[in-house]
Amino acid sequence: MPDTETGPNHVAIIMDGNGRWAQMKGKPRLFGHHAGAKRVKEIVRACPDLGVKYLTIFAFSTENWKRTQAEVSGLMSLFRRYIKGEMKDLIQEGVRVRFIGDRPRLDDKLIKMMDDLEKVTAQNEKVHLTIALNYGGRDEVSRAVKEMARDAALGTLDPETVDETTLTRYLDTRVLPDPDLVIRTSGEARISNFLLWQSAYSEYEFIDTLWPDFTKDVFAECTARYATRDRRFGAVKV
């Protein structure tokens, strides 16, 4: 008997395949990124019906700076455009937006927009949308450990008391539950530095669909499959 019939409370998605989607259509990669950004709205809107309270999406990794300058700056302007264009609907639809990742490396204008979007949606609680932007799991853990070391040096953290819960409190995701289900689109079976600590016991769905083709029906199929799984967390069911 699966113990997950209720569906996942927190779904995290590695939105991959925008570039290949565009390439297949003979278009530039940024065309795929724009199509991908449009998909986000439908998926966020589908959450309440699927019982998904927390949705975390991987928008830009700490490794994505390795791409061409044109692609990186195109993505950054797409993020600004998304925030500006979606703010009103997100407020109205009860979506609380948070960003995780290393913010200081982003440009000041974008950081300000991210801060504002978090502020104006802070009272919402229908869906918790977390956008991972300049996010890397190893980077996040390194920053957390740096903060812990500082606090230990200041005397506000006793090293002897440090345990898993302590580290969890220093992560960008400190207010979020761990993801129950991680979906990666585009056929790649790797996690590419996404939520390394948090997904220790997550269920995974690696699906072939490219992100711009990921509809709410495909999303519903993923959450339905999740509901048939048996999560044991290392224990033996009796």
Residues assigned a catalytic role: 16, 64
Q: Report the C-alpha gap between 226 and 5 in whole angstroms.
A: 8
**Contact 127/52 with Cβ under 8 angstroms?**
yes
Q: Report in angstroms how near the CB of residue 121 gets to ligand IPE at its nearest.
A: 22
Alpha-carbon distances of 145 from 139, 158, 177, rounded to whole Å: 10, 14, 20
Residues across the chain: 238
Q: Which does 18 bind (CB under 5 to 8 A by kind): ligand IPE, Mg ion, none?
A: ligand IPE
Q: Which of 121, 186, 199, 209 binds ligand IPE (CB under 6 A)?
A: 186
Residue number, 47 or 132, with CB nearest to ligand IPE: 132
Contact 197, 171 (CB under 8 A): yes
59 vs 176, beta carbon nearer ligand IPE: 59
In the block, tokens 């999740």 appear at: 226
Binding mask of the shown chain, residues 10 to 49, with x at each position contacting Mg ion by CB under 5 A: ------x---------------------------------
- Which among 96, 110, 4, 115 is positioned nearest to 55, based on CA atoms? 96
- For position 61 contacting ligand IPE by CB under 6 A, the verdict is yes
CB 160 within 8 A of CB 128: no
CA of residue 102 relative to chain centroid, distance: 14
Residue 41, contacted partner among Mg ion, ligand IPE, none, CB below 5-8 A by kind: none
Nearer to ligand IPE, 93 or 102 (CB): 102
Binds 58, which of ligand IPE, Mg ion, none (CB < 5 to 8 A, cut-off by type)? ligand IPE
By CB under 6 A, residue 17 contacts ligand IPE: yes
Q: Is 212 in the site for ligand IPE (CB under 6 A)?
A: no
210, burial (CB in 10 Å: exposed 0-12, middle 13-18, buried 19+)? buried
Interface ranges with ligand IPE (CB under 6 A): 14-20, 58-61, 64, 75, 186, 188, 190, 192
Interface ranges with Mg ion (CB under 5 A): 16
